[in-house]
Structure 1
Amino acid sequence: MEAHFWKQGIRGPPYRFFIGNVRELASMMLRASSQPMPFLSHNILPRVLSFYHHWNKIYGTSSFFFFFFFLLSVHFYESHIGQVNLEIPGFCVVVFKPFGGTFLVWFGPTVRVTVSDPELIREIFSSKSESYEKNEAPPIVKQLEGDGLLSLKGQKWAYHRKIISPAFHMENLKVCIYIYKSNLTNHSLLIPVMERSVVEMLEKWKLKEGEVEIEVVEWFQNLTEDVITRAAFGSSYEDGKAIFKLQAQQMLLAADAFHKAFIPGYRRNINCWKLDKEIKKSVGKVIEKRRKLSSENNNYCSSELELGGKDLVGLMMKASKSKSWDDDDGMMMMSVDEMVEECKSFFFAGKHTTSNLLTWTTILLAMHPHWQVRARDELFSLCPSRDLPPSKDDLPNLKTLSMIVNESLRLYPPTIATIRRAKTDVELGNYQIPRGTELLIPILAVHHDQSLWGTDANEFNPGRFSEGVARAAKHPVAFIPFGLSVRTCIGQNLAVLQTKLALAIILQRFSFRLSPSYKHAPTVLMLLYPQYGAPIIFRRLSSTTDDDDDDDDNQRS
C-alpha cells in the first residue's frame, strides 16, 4: 500500500508492525495538551490536531519537492533519452496543488490518506460521492450516537433522511421554538420556547446587579437539553433528563474507546452495553407516552407547542404507520426500534453540537468585546425593548451575529475531522485510490489554512463573512463545519437558530468577559471542548441609555 501511494507522491511516517503510527500520535497529543494556549490565540491546530500539524509540514508539502523532481526528471529524460516515459519504475508525477496537503497516516494496521485540498474534498462529498461511504464507528461510539442518520448508509439512510428532514426545515423550526402567549399588557405576541428557557436559566444565576462568575458549559448543556426535549417531544426537560444523564456517562466511556481496543467482556464495554440498554428503555418510554397522547387525540398538539405533528417524533410516528417502496429493499417502514435509534442520535448530536457552538461563541465574544458591542448595537436597532426577544422575522436580519457565529464555526468547528471510505477503486483528482482506503478530511485544518483564508486565518475576524459564506474564502469548500452536500448535518439550522436566539437574549441583558481563571485549552472529547471549562463573568446592563454607552466604552477599552 505504501508503495502504491509513494509512486503517486503521497508519503507519510513509516509504518510499524500492527501499531502503525499510534505511538507517535499518542505522544504528540499528550505533549500538545499538557499546557494551555496563549490567552488570545486561536491557532489551535498544533494543539488539537497535532499529528496533522507536524506531519503536514514534513510530508504534506511534498508537492513542492515532487513538482521540482518532476521538472528535473523531465529535463533528464528529454536530454538523454529524447522522450519522457511516465511508466518507468520510480518515476513519480504529482500535479502541484495550491491548497492543502495530502499524506499517509497509519492508525494501527489501517492506512488513512489525509486530504485537505478543498477541490478533492468536493469530489469526495459531491461530484463522486457515490464512490465513498462513511466508515464504521467503533461499537461503543455507535451505541452513543445511535444507529440513525449519523451512521446509516445507502437506501435506508435516504429513507430516514426523507422522513426526518421536514422537522429541521427552517419554517418548521420557527414554529417549533415559538409559542403563543399574552404579555402583561394583554397584547398577543409570539414568545419563543428558547427565550423562556434562557430567561429561566438567567434567573437561576440570581444576578440582580453587579457581576457574577458563571461556568457556562454545564448551563448551556442543560439549556439545549431542555429545548431539544421540547422541540422533539413537546415535553419538559424532566422527560429527557434521565436520557441525557445516561448519555453523559456513556460519552466518557466512548471517548476512552477512541484510544483503546474494543475487547468484548472488558468492564468498560460491559458498562456501555448496560447504559445503552437503559437509554433505549428511557427513550422508548418517552415515545410510548407520545403514542398514547396521539391515540387519545388524532390531532394531538402539545399544550406548549403548535407543532401539528411536524416535530421529530410526530414525523417518525406517521412513517411507522405507512409503507414506502424501495426498488432494492422492497417495502420499507420505520419501526419503533429505529425511532429509538434516531432519537438517541438527535439527543446526542443536538445537545453537544449546539451547546459547544454556544459555548465557543460566548468565549470568543468575551475575548473580543468590541464585537460584542457591535452585535448588541445591531440588536437594539432592530429590537429596542430589552423585555422582548427578537422575533422569528428579526433573526435573519441580525447580520453581525450571523457573521460572529460563522467565524466561531470556522475557528472552533464542533467536529474537527471526518472519515470516508472508498467503496470501489476510484480516481481522486490525479490520485488512484484503491477500494477500502480510508480518507481523513481534517475540517479544522481546512478552516485554518492561510492559503484559503489569508494571513489572518488564525485570528477572530467575523468581518470576513460580511459578503456571505461563499465569498469568505478563496474556495467555496473552505467552510464545512457541518459537512457538505447530501450528508450535510441535518440539524445545522436548529443549532444555528438556537445559538443566535440565545446569544441575542443574553446580549440584551448582559455584558460579559472572561474570568481571570479561564485557561484557553481546546481539546477533543469526541467533539471540541474547552478542557478546563469556560468561566465567564456576566454584568447586567443598565436600563438607561447613558449607562449603556458607558458600558460599551468599557467593553471597547
Structure 2
Amino acid sequence: MDQEEEKRMMMKSLWANVVVLVAIVIVAKLVVQLWWRPRKVANHFSKQGIKGPPYQFFIGNMKELVDLMQKASSQPMTLTHNVLPRVLPFYHHWKKIYGATYLIWFGPTPRLTVADPGLIREIYSTKSEFYEKYESHPLVRKLEGNGLVHLNGEKWAHRRKTLSPIFHIENLKLMIPIMGKSVAHMLDKWSMMSNSGKVELEISEWFQNLTEEVITRTIFGASFDHGKKIYQLQAKQIIFAAESFQKVFFPGYRFLPTKRNRTTWKLDREIETSLMKLISHRKESLLEKRRGGLEEENEEEEECHKDLLDVLIRASLKRENNNNNNNNNNNSRKTRITENDIVEECKSFFFAGKHTTSNLMIWTSILLAMHPQWQQLAREEVMRVCGARDIPTKDDVSNLKTLTMIIYEVLRLYPPVVASIRRTKKEVDLGDHLNIKKGTELLIPILAVHHDPTIWGPDALEFNPTRFSQGVSRAATHPTAYMPFGVGGRQCIGQNLALLQAKLAIAMILQRFTFDLSPNYKHAPTVLMLLYPQFGAPIIFRSL
C-alpha cells in the first residue's frame, strides 16, 4: 500500500471516528434530556411530597392530556357554570388523584401546577424577578406579535410606559362617542332584521365584527376597511396556532418548508405588509403636519383621544432624533422603537383586543340570558342612569355599578385566559416548603382558582354578582384569587378598554332589547386560544 492510499485510509478512519463520536454525543444528550433529567426532576419533587402522572418517554403526558381534552369537548354540557371539567379536564382529573399541586409533563418539559393564591402572588408579584414569561409556541407568537406581551426587562418597562397613557381610563372615556356610534349602528341593523319585534342572532360574529371596527377606529385611528383584512388573516392563523397546543414542539421544525409552514409564512407576510402600509400612511401624514407647522396641538385637539398608532409613531420619530443627536447612547438604542416594533405591537392589539373584548361581551350576553332576574336589574339601572335610547356618556358608564358587578362575575366564571405559565429563571423557594429547580414551568390554572369554593364560598359555581358589591379585593378570601387579566406588573394593559367597551355595548343592548337563550343554544365552553362557546351563541332578542 503506497503512502497516498494509506493517507486516504487514515482520513476515512478519522472521519468515521468523528461521526461515531458525534453520534454518541447526540445520543447521550438525548438520553439526558429525555430520560435522565425527567427522572431526576420527578424524584426532586417526589421528595417534597409532590406526585403526578408518570412520565412517558419523549411525549410526557401529552397523549393522556389530549385524550382528556377531546373527550371533554365531544359533547355539550348542561346549563351550569361548573365548566372546569370541560375546559381544563386534565387539571380537574389529576387534581382528584394527586391534589391541587402536582407535576405533569408537556413532552420532556416539567410543569408544576400551582393553584394557591398566596403562591401565585409570589410568582407574579413579590418574587417575580425569579420567573420569566413562558415563551409561546412560534405559531402562537407570530399571531400574538412580538410586542409588549413578550418583551422583558428594560425594553418592556419603556414600552409599557410609552403605551400606558393610551389605556388610562380618562383617555379611553374620550373614545366612548366613537364606540357608541358603532354599537348603535349594529343595534339599528338588529331592529331592521326583527320580525314583529323579535330576531334570533348568532352573536359571536356580530360582537367580533363590532370589536374589530371599534379597535380599528379607536386604537389605530383608521377606517374599518384597513383593519378588516388583517382580522381575516389572523382568523386563519388562529386555526394553526390552536392546533399547536395539542402537539409536542420540535425545535427547528418551523423552519422546514412544509405545506403547513409555507401557509403560515404567507399569512404572516400578508399581515405585515398590510400593517406596514397602515403605518407608512400614518407616518407620512404626521410628517406632513410637522413640515406644514400644524403639529402643535390646540385646546380643541386635547379633547381627542390618543391612539396606539399615533403614540408609537411619535415615539419612534422622537427616538430617531435622539439617536441622531447622541449615537453613543446605549440605553437609547436598547429602547428604540422601530417600524418592526410597531408592526409587532399592532399584531398584539389587533388579536388580543378583538378576542378578549368580544368574548367578554358574548359570555355576558349568554349569562344575562340565563339569569333574567339579573338582566332586569341591569336594565333598570341603565334606564335610570342613561335613559332609554341615548348613547351613554362617560359619566353614565362610570355610574353603572350593577352592570360592573355583573361583568366582574362573568370574568370570574368565564375568564378569557383559563391558564397561564411562568418559568423559573433560577432555583427558587416557593412558599414555605417548595424548592423549584431552574427551568421548571409553573402552570397557573386561573379557571380553577376562580371556581374554588374554599376561596369564593359554597356558591362558587353560581352566578352571584353581589359578591363584588364591595369591590374586587373583598370578593374572595384572597385578593390574588381574581385574575382575569393577570396579576402584578404584567397585568393586561388593555383591560380598561375591554371593560369599557363591553359595559357600553351591553348597556346599549339593554336599552333596546330583552333577550333569552335560543332553544338551539348548546352550552359548551372550550378553549381556542381564549375561552369561547364551542357551538356558538344563538340568542333571541325582543324589542322593548
Map of 1:425 onto structure 2: 427
Q: Residues 127-156 of structure 1, C-alpha deviation per residue, up to 9 Å, x if partnerless?
A: 000110001111111000000011112221
1:532, distance to aligned residue in structure 2 (A): 0.2
Conservation of the 8 A alpha-carbon contact between 1:197 and 1:227: yes
Which amino acid is the alignment partner of residue 34 of structure 1?
Answer: S
Map of 1:257 onto structure 2: 244
The residue correspondences of 1:277-296 to structure 2 (distance < 5 A) are 277-296=269-288
Map of 1:170 onto structure 2: 169
1:200 pairs with 2:185: yes
Identity of aligned residues (%): 59
- Which residue of 381, 385, 390 corresponds with 1:382? 385
Evaluate the alpha carbon distance shift between residue 392 and residue 398 of structure 1 in structure 2; reply closer, same or farther with a 3 A threshold. Answer: same
CA distance in 2, matches of 1:267, 1:527: 26
1:273 pairs with 2:273: no
The residue correspondences of 1:64-213 to structure 2 (distance < 5 A) are 101-175=100-174, 177-178=175-176, 192-205=177-190, 206-207=192-193, 209-213=196-200
Map of 1:317 onto structure 2: 313
Conservation of the 8 A alpha-carbon contact between 1:115 and 1:441: yes
Q: Residues 177-213 of structure 1, C-alpha deviation per residue, up to 9 Å, x if partnerless?
A: 14xxxxxxxxxxxxx1111111111222224542100
Conservation of the 8 A alpha-carbon contact between 1:234 and 1:305: no
CA distance in 2, matches of 1:126, 1:253: 33
- Structure 2 unmatched runs, 5+: 1-40, 324-328
Which amino acid is the alignment partner of residue 154 of structure 1?
Answer: G
Evaluate the alpha carbon distance shift between residue 165 and residue 102 of structure 1 in structure 2; reply closer, same or farther with a 3 A threshold. Answer: same
Map of 1:485 onto structure 2: 488
Range with greater deviation from structure 2 (306-315 or 116-125): 306-315
Range with greater deviation from structure 2 (309-318 or 117-126): 309-318
Q: Which has the higher helix share?
A: 2
Which amino acid is the alignment partner of residue 426 of structure 1?
Answer: V
Q: Between Structure 1 and Structure 2, how many residues are aligned? A: 484
Map of 2:7 onto structure 1: none
Range with greater deviation from structure 2 (290-299 or 119-128): 290-299
1:395 pairs with 2:397: yes
1:332, distance to aligned residue in structure 2 (A): 2.8
CA distance in 2, matches of 1:509, 1:305: 33
Map of 1:515 onto structure 2: 518
Q: Residues 463-513 of structure 1, C-alpha deviation per residue, up to 9 Å, x if partnerless?
A: 111111111111111100000110000000000000000000000000000
Evaluate the alpha carbon distance shift between residue 235 and residue 44 of structure 1 in structure 2; reply closer, same or farther with a 3 A threshold. Answer: same
Evaluate the alpha carbon distance shift between residue 340 and residue 281 of structure 1 in structure 2; reply closer, same or farther with a 3 A threshold. Answer: same
1:416 pairs with 2:408: no
CA distance in 1, matches of 2:374, 2:302: 36
Q: Residues 239-293 of structure 1, C-alpha deviation per residue, up to 9 Å, x if partnerless?
A: 1111000000111111112223453323222211110010011011111111122
CA distance in 1, matches of 2:66, 2:301: 48
Map of 1:444 onto structure 2: 447
Which amino acid is the alignment partner of residue 368 of structure 1?
Answer: H
Map of 2:52 onto structure 1: 12
1:228, distance to aligned residue in structure 2 (A): 0.4
The residue correspondences of 1:16-31 to structure 2 (distance < 5 A) are 16-31=56-71
Aligned to 2:479, what secondary structure does the other structure show? coil
Conservation of the 8 A alpha-carbon contact between 1:418 and 1:441: yes
Conservation of the 8 A alpha-carbon contact between 2:62 and 2:246: no
CA distance in 2, matches of 1:309, 1:398: 22
CA distance in 1, matches of 2:265, 2:302: 37
1:352, distance to aligned residue in structure 2 (A): 0.3
The residue correspondences of 1:277-356 to structure 2 (distance < 5 A) are 277-298=269-290, 299=294, 310-323=306-319, 331-356=334-359
Conservation of the 8 A alpha-carbon contact between 2:155 and 2:334: no
Q: Residues 16-44 of structure 1, C-alpha deviation per residue, up to 9 Å, x if partnerless?
A: 100111111011111111111102x0000
1:523, distance to aligned residue in structure 2 (A): 0.6
Evaluate the alpha carbon distance shift between residue 327 and residue 4 of structure 1 in structure 2; reply closer, same or farther with a 3 A threshold. Answer: farther
Q: Residues 38-94 of structure 1, C-alpha deviation per residue, up to 9 Å, x if partnerless?
A: 02x00000000001001111111xxxxxxxxxxxxxxxxxxxxxxxxxxxxxxxxxx
Map of 1:66 onto structure 2: none
Aligned to 2:484, what secondary structure does the other structure show? coil
Range with greater deviation from structure 2 (155-164 or 222-231): 155-164
The residue correspondences of 1:539-554 to structure 2 (distance < 5 A) are 539-541=542-544
CA distance in 1, matches of 2:211, 2:173: 16
Aligned to 1:233, what secondary structure does the other structure show? coil
Which amino acid is the alignment partner of residue 25 of structure 1?
Answer: L
Evaluate the alpha carbon distance shift between residue 212 and residue 145 of structure 1 in structure 2; reply closer, same or farther with a 3 A threshold. Answer: same
CA distance in 1, matches of 2:500, 2:408: 12
1:305, distance to aligned residue in structure 2 (A): 8.8
- Which residue of 515, 532, 537 corresponds with 1:534? 537
Aligned to 1:539, what secondary structure does the other structure show? strand
Conservation of the 8 A alpha-carbon contact between 1:322 and 1:333: no
Evaluate the alpha carbon distance shift between residue 277 and residue 259 of structure 1 in structure 2; reply closer, same or farther with a 3 A threshold. Answer: same
Kindly report the root-mean-square deviation, in angstroms, between the aligned alpha carbons of the 2 structures: 1.9
Conservation of the 8 A alpha-carbon contact between 1:207 and 1:540: no
Evaluate the alpha carbon distance shift between residue 331 and residue 473 of structure 1 in structure 2; reply closer, same or farther with a 3 A threshold. Answer: closer
1:51 pairs with 2:81: no
1:235, distance to aligned residue in structure 2 (A): 1.9
Structure 2 length as normaliser, TM-score?
Answer: 0.86
Conservation of the 8 A alpha-carbon contact between 2:154 and 2:335: no
1:225 pairs with 2:219: no
Evaluate the alpha carbon distance shift between residue 327 and residue 114 of structure 1 in structure 2; reply closer, same or farther with a 3 A threshold. Answer: farther
Which amino acid is the alignment partner of residue 383 of structure 1?
Answer: C
Conservation of the 8 A alpha-carbon contact between 2:59 and 2:106: yes
Range with greater deviation from structure 2 (217-226 or 251-260): 251-260
Map of 2:26 onto structure 1: none
CA distance in 1, matches of 2:389, 2:506: 15
Conservation of the 8 A alpha-carbon contact between 1:233 and 1:290: no
Aligned to 2:105, what secondary structure does the other structure show? strand
CA distance in 2, matches of 1:266, 1:377: 57
Structure 1 length as normaliser, TM-score?
Answer: 0.84
1:328, distance to aligned residue in structure 2 (A): 6.5
CA distance in 2, matches of 1:350, 1:306: 25
Aligned to 2:426, what secondary structure does the other structure show? coil
Conservation of the 8 A alpha-carbon contact between 1:140 and 1:269: no
Structure 1 segments (4+ residues) deviating >4 Å: 304-309, 324-331
Evaluate the alpha carbon distance shift between residue 50 and residue 365 of structure 1 in structure 2; reply closer, same or farther with a 3 A threshold. Answer: same
